[in-house]
Chain A
Amino acid sequence: MSSSLITLTRLSVVMALAAIGLYAVAVFGYIPVADLSAALRHPDPASFGQIYVHYSLLPRMFVALLAGGALAFAGTIFQQLLKNPLAEPSTLGILSGAQLAITLMTLSTVTVSAFQRDIAALIGGLAAVAIVSGLTRKTGFAPMTLLLCGLVISFSAGSASVILALFHHEYLRGVFIWGSGSLIQNDYANAIALAVRFIIFVPVLLLFQRPLAIAGLDDANARSLGLSLTSMRALVLIIATILTALVVARVGVVAFVGIAASHVARMAGARTLNERLLWGALIGALLLLLADGIVLVSAPVIGDVPTGTITAIAGALLMLALLKSVPSSIDQFTPIDGRNSTSRTSGSVLVLVCIVTLTFVAILSLTEQMFTHGLDPWGLFTGRWPRVLTSASAGAMLAMAGAITQAITRNPMASPEGLGVSGGAGLGIIAAFFFGGMASPLMPIAGGILGAILSFSLVLTVARRRSYATGPVLLGGIAVGALATAIMSLIVASGDPRASYILAWTMGPTFRATGIVALIASSLALIGFVVFPLFRRWIEVLPLGDGTARALGVNPRRSRGVLLLFVATLTGIATLVVGPLSFVGMMAPHIARMAGARGQTRIVLAATTIGATLMIAADWLGRTADFPYEIPAGVIAAFIGGPYFLWIIRSNGKTTLRA
């Protein structure tokens, strides 16, 4: 519609002018205009301003251009290859995988050279892609499944990095500053390294342009042209991943440039693959330059914010806006089918077994004395009941929320963790710390609830346009989660001594629970349990489809909205207790179904008990695994839940046939 006004050339010129203008403001803050040509060509060693422009700002421009171009180029390749408009280095888990590998290397070696950093990034990035593609190969790289895998890996790797920071806060500050994508330069080393990588990899990838263009049309079509699709795909995937990892090793995590650039290029009129690749790379380069210019000019006001944080925040918002472009056809998952389970346990026996297990685990956690001695049973009990009860309540609420979400969406991957509520609660908690201080525990609780409500409203607003289709809701939630992760990295990088305290809060500190918190959490869980029967009819009817629901007198839109609100409330409260990454809400209903629970109501009941058991066990493990250091229960649950999530995706993929 506006194609006559916005053309690729005009857009690029405007972006370039804006970015150069911002840089000019920064440059002329250091040197007078008359010295510009001297500073660029032969800086006077006696003038710091000239040296700074020559050795810091100029290479910084090159790095921004090269990194943005390479990431956008790789992003377009991934999108074409996987036929997925939202594919790019960050959504495939490459950036987080590389970051985790570099963090681990920093902890295990004395000094990390640039070369070691490259190798670590390569290993991490390739491992992430191997896992993602391995898991989704069976579904023919179904776009939604692929994104979910990539983002779960991103989450797991990102949270692993955050946990490492929790324990090695001061050691890892430098790594985290790098990890948040700071583009500050001291010399031309990075610019030269990136230029070499760009010159080698971009032409190599362009060789595949023709086969890629065909692959973009149709699998069957390509096969009839005699292409070995699988091997070509794998090869291109590996080369593009190597390029991405080598860029990450130099500039850190700069997410979402790939998505943003290719979408802007497409909107401005790039049609063929060739156009999208070249214009996409140019626009990516200019986008990162623009973002970096903004960071540079605003640094005197807001401090040295890493450029990657800005792109992550902008990108997460962009992703929310782009959700409508995800084709509806890819929202299809195998509907949950309870009948294929082998177990024949009767319902009441199952619930009984669950309750017995719950009691056993709770008693174990309340009484064991593996590391502490000389505590009388009463002293032990008074110290432990709040955390056990709090864990149980949070687990139960998450499991109930998960069971309801999975029932009404018939999506085995739906879970409260994926709704963005958890990430929003985490952001709210962080905001409360910075604006309210650490004095009162009520502030973070209020902040968490507010954050949960806000983020959920945001995701719902986006999802409403898609009639609450599961895929967009999940992706919206994941975008909010990505936002939370970016901000947490920023806090670690800030060097604020409160960082480890704040990190622990966002990771779900059941060990911090007091008697009052435990009583509030358990009352809320009980209220949820009591209210739940009111929704039973909806939960039984909605899975049958909107048409059937309407015929049975249920307004599908309204009932779904109310249920989602109920789920959000449960999740928001539980997140405050166990943190955003537990995956218990996804796991518990699955275990209930595998154990043989039938009928939506019974599944919800069994899942609730199982969720409580899982969280108590996670809390106990967190307490004993690294005594006397406490690992947040939410983190322990996430370590089990992340792989479980991927395993479910895999077994789901096995039975899915793509149309």
Chain B
Amino acid sequence: MRPLNTAGKAVPHPAESNHDHKLTRRQFAAALATILVPVNAAATPAVSRIAVLDWGWAESLLALGVQPTAVAEAPLYGDRVVVPALSSETIDLGLRSWPNMELLRSLKPDLILAQAGYGVSQARLNEIAPTLALPLYSAERMPLVAAEAALKEIAARTGREEAAIDYLQRAHARLETIAAKAKAYDGRPLLIIKFTDDRLIDIYGEGGLFDDVLKRLGIVNAWDGATNNWGFATAGLDAIARYPEARLIIIEPGPPGRFLQSTLWQSLPAVRKGHVATIPPTWVFGAFPSAMRFAEVIREGIGIA
């Protein structure tokens, strides 16, 4: 198993291997960090050894200026969530859906952060250490609200209330600014898509983090179809054509090869009218920091800088 596993981790995603693109992402991350990550990191948090089983909570913790001791699938976090970055010393706990329980036990964490209803049950984690199992993608279908509540709760448990208030204040102010600027936007509804290959796309809609952010910014999400538990639907390209007035937002990595030059793609109403924008990779199942990152990339993407 090991060679395959390491191979998979070492090899960048096909479309992510593009150098130009990596550079943009890194520059972008640096720019974001100056806005959102508090400079004065924690002096002595109430709990010091935190094991995190969900990337959304890992990024929330980092936003509060706390480095987690261990994170599930930590090496992959760098590829997918990108910023805020984990320390290179972060211990890899194994799969997010099923972390290594013995390793978790041996690390003697003061606190375990998990997503409620995903992976190991809270009861079993509680046997190892006090566990905070917070909902994110739940029946409520309001991930942004859940993410903010979770950030506050994590802050309360780690003695970082001030950092949380500070962070949320700046974040909300930032969202207000973007929302105000969005009034200048032409009001064209957005269709936010991600390619799985060159034939099928994921479309983000109701119940997803991105949809919540768009609502907050006062921008209309074009997709009105059904979505799953995590707020997305998988469909063929013809789904895009059903929204001829929408502006297409493609989350990178885009489709492989020269697909964007094909006759089929070029004949899509949105493409013909030039209503297409590409935004850098953004973690689609994330928490508050991912939401903020999405707000920033969408601001750039629709040109309301």
CA distance A304 to B203 in the complex (A): 13
**Which B residues contact A (CB, under 8 angstroms)?**
1-2, 4-5, 7-8, 11-14, 17, 80, 92-103, 105-106, 108, 117-119, 121, 124, 137, 196-200, 202, 228-230, 232-238, 241, 244, 256-257, 259, 262-269, 272, 285
Q: Are B264 and A170 in contact (CB under 8 A)?
A: no
List of B residues within 8 angstroms of A46 by Cβ: 267, 272
List of A residues within 8 angstroms of B14 by Cβ: 110-112
Q: Are B241 and A52 in contact (CB under 8 A)?
A: yes
Mask: chain A, 86-126; 1 = CB below 8 Å from B; 0 = not = 00000000000000000010011111100000000000000
Q: Which 6 A-B pairs have the closest CB atoms?
A: A174-B197, A628-B100, A51-B267, A628-B94, A372-B106, A501-B97
List of B residues within 8 angstroms of A647 by Cβ: none
Given contacts A164-B4, A184-B199, A497-B285, contact A504 B105 (CB under 8 A): no
CB pairs A–B below 8 angstroms (29 shown): A48-B267, A51-B267, A55-B262, A55-B264, A55-B267, A104-B4, A107-B4, A107-B8, A107-B11, A108-B7, A108-B11, A167-B4, A171-B13, A299-B236, A303-B234, A304-B200, A373-B106, A375-B106, A380-B102, A383-B101, A495-B202, A497-B137, A497-B230, A498-B229, A509-B98, A511-B101, A627-B103, A628-B103, A629-B95
A375 interface neighbour in B8, B102, B241, Cβ under 8 Å: B102
CA distance A631 to B95 in the complex (A): 10
Q: Is A514 at the interface (CB under 8 A from chain B)?
A: yes
Given contacts A45-B267, A383-B105, A496-B230, contact A110 B272 (CB under 8 A): no
CA distance A108 to B5 in the complex (A): 11
CA distance A167 to B5 in the complex (A): 7
- Spot the interface stretch: A73-81, A435-443, A607-615: A435-443
| A384 nearest CB neighbor, chain B only | B102
Q: Are B97 and A500 in contact (CB under 8 A)?
A: yes
Given contacts A379-B105, A501-B97, A631-B1, contact A51 B197 (CB under 8 A): no
Minimum CB–CB distance from A7 to chain B (whole Å) comes to 37
Instruction: Identify 5 new A-B residue pairs, CB closer than 8 A, beyond the known A164-B4, A501-B118.
Output: A52-B237, A107-B7, A107-B11, A303-B235, A504-B97
Minimum CB–CB distance from B254 to chain A (whole Å) comes to 12
B266 interface neighbour in A45, A373, A380, A494, Cβ under 8 Å: A45
CA distance A500 to B119 in the complex (A): 10
CA distance A595 to B93 in the complex (A): 41
List of A residues within 8 angstroms of B5 by Cβ: 167, 626, 629
Mask: chain A, 374-392; 1 = CB below 8 Å from B; 0 = not = 1100011001100000000
Minimum CB–CB distance from A97 to chain B (whole Å) comes to 17
| A48 nearest CB neighbor, chain B only | B241
User: Which of A56, A304, A379, A631 lies at the interface centre, i.e. has the most chain B CB atoms within 10 A of its CB?
Assistant: A304
CA distance A101 to B197 in the complex (A): 18
What's the interface size class on A, roughly? 35 or more
Minimum CB–CB distance from A597 to chain B (whole Å) comes to 33
Minimum CB–CB distance from A374 to chain B (whole Å) comes to 5
Minimum CB–CB distance from A39 to chain B (whole Å) comes to 12
Mask: chain A, 145-168; 1 = CB below 8 Å from B; 0 = not = 000000000000000000110111
| B199 nearest CB neighbor, chain A only | A184
Given contacts A372-B102, A441-B121, contact A45 B263 (CB under 8 A): yes
CA distance A379 to B244 in the complex (A): 61
Q: Are B256 and A111 in contact (CB under 8 A)?
A: yes
B95 interface neighbour in A170, A182, A498, A504, Cβ under 8 Å: A504
A297-332: which residues lie under 8 A (CB-CB) from chain B? 299, 303-304
CA distance A501 to B97 in the complex (A): 5
Q: Are A56 and B264 in contact (CB under 8 A)?
A: yes
Q: Is A178 at the interface (CB under 8 A from chain B)?
A: yes
Q: Is A630 at the interface (CB under 8 A from chain B)?
A: yes
CA distance A51 to B272 in the complex (A): 13
List of A residues within 8 angstroms of B256 by Cβ: 111
CA distance A384 to B202 in the complex (A): 41
| B72 nearest CB neighbor, chain A only | A628
List of B residues within 8 angstroms of A186 by Cβ: 198-199, 237, 259, 262, 264-265
CA distance A202 to B94 in the complex (A): 50
Q: Are A630 and B100 in contact (CB under 8 A)?
A: yes
Q: Are A48 and B269 in contact (CB under 8 A)?
A: yes
Minimum CB–CB distance from A42 to chain B (whole Å) comes to 12
List of B residues within 8 angstroms of A540 by Cβ: none
List of A residues within 8 angstroms of B4 by Cβ: 104, 107, 164, 167
Given contacts A110-B14, A304-B235, contact A438 B200 (CB under 8 A): no
| A114 nearest CB neighbor, chain B only | B257
Given contacts A107-B4, A110-B17, A373-B106, contact A500 B95 (CB under 8 A): yes
Q: Are B97 and A182 in contact (CB under 8 A)?
A: no
Q: Are A627 and B100 in contact (CB under 8 A)?
A: yes
Q: Are B102 and A383 in contact (CB under 8 A)?
A: yes
CA distance A524 to B17 in the complex (A): 52
CA distance A164 to B11 in the complex (A): 14
Q: Are B200 and A630 in contact (CB under 8 A)?
A: no
| A502 nearest CB neighbor, chain B only | B97
| A57 nearest CB neighbor, chain B only | B238
Q: Is A173 at the interface (CB under 8 A from chain B)?
A: yes
CA distance A371 to B263 in the complex (A): 55
Q: Are A495 and B8 in contact (CB under 8 A)?
A: no
Q: Are A372 and B103 in contact (CB under 8 A)?
A: yes
Q: Are B94 and A178 in contact (CB under 8 A)?
A: no
Q: Are B100 and A167 in contact (CB under 8 A)?
A: no
List of B residues within 8 angstroms of A630 by Cβ: 94-95, 98, 100
| B228 nearest CB neighbor, chain A only | A496
B264 interface neighbour in A187, A299, A371, A629, Cβ under 8 Å: A187
CA distance A42 to B202 in the complex (A): 31
Q: Are B106 and A374 in contact (CB under 8 A)?
A: yes
Q: Is A625 at the interface (CB under 8 A from chain B)?
A: yes
CA distance A438 to B133 in the complex (A): 14
Given contacts A177-B199, A177-B200, A438-B117, contact A626 B264 (CB under 8 A): no
Q: Are A167 and B8 in contact (CB under 8 A)?
A: yes
List of B residues within 8 angstroms of A441 by Cβ: 121
CA distance A379 to B103 in the complex (A): 12
Q: Are B262 and A494 in contact (CB under 8 A)?
A: no
User: Which of B96, B199, B266 lies at the interface centre, i.e. has the most chain A CB atoms within 10 A of its CB?
Assistant: B199
| A169 nearest CB neighbor, chain B only | B97
List of A residues within 8 angstroms of B272 by Cβ: 46
List of A residues within 8 angstroms of B229 by Cβ: 496, 498
List of B residues within 8 angstroms of A48 by Cβ: 241, 244, 267-269
Q: Are B99 and A628 in contact (CB under 8 A)?
A: yes
Q: Are B8 and A168 in contact (CB under 8 A)?
A: yes
Q: Is A137 at the interface (CB under 8 A from chain B)?
A: no
List of B residues within 8 angstroms of A627 by Cβ: 100, 103
Minimum CB–CB distance from B22 to chain A (whole Å) comes to 13
List of A residues within 8 angstroms of B198 by Cβ: 186
List of A residues within 8 angstroms of B265 by Cβ: 186
List of B residues within 8 angstroms of A383 by Cβ: 101-102, 105
Q: Are B237 and A56 in contact (CB under 8 A)?
A: yes
Q: Are B267 and A374 in contact (CB under 8 A)?
A: no
List of A residues within 8 angstroms of B117 by Cβ: 437-439
Q: Is A201 at the interface (CB under 8 A from chain B)?
A: no
List of B residues within 8 angstroms of A374 by Cβ: 106, 108
Q: Is A566 at the interface (CB under 8 A from chain B)?
A: no
Q: Is A30 at the interface (CB under 8 A from chain B)?
A: yes
Mask: chain A, 495-517; 1 = CB below 8 Å from B; 0 = not = 11110110010000101101000
A110 interface neighbour in B11, B118, B244, Cβ under 8 Å: B11
List of B residues within 8 angstroms of A439 by Cβ: 117
CA distance A544 to B266 in the complex (A): 73
A476-510: which residues lie under 8 A (CB-CB) from chain B? 494-498, 500-501, 504, 509
Q: Are B199 and A438 in contact (CB under 8 A)?
A: no
Minimum CB–CB distance from A614 to chain B (whole Å) comes to 18
CA distance A185 to B236 in the complex (A): 10
| B263 nearest CB neighbor, chain A only | A55
List of A residues within 8 angstroms of B119 by Cβ: 501
Q: Are B100 and A187 in contact (CB under 8 A)?
A: no
List of B residues within 8 angstroms of A56 by Cβ: 236-238, 264
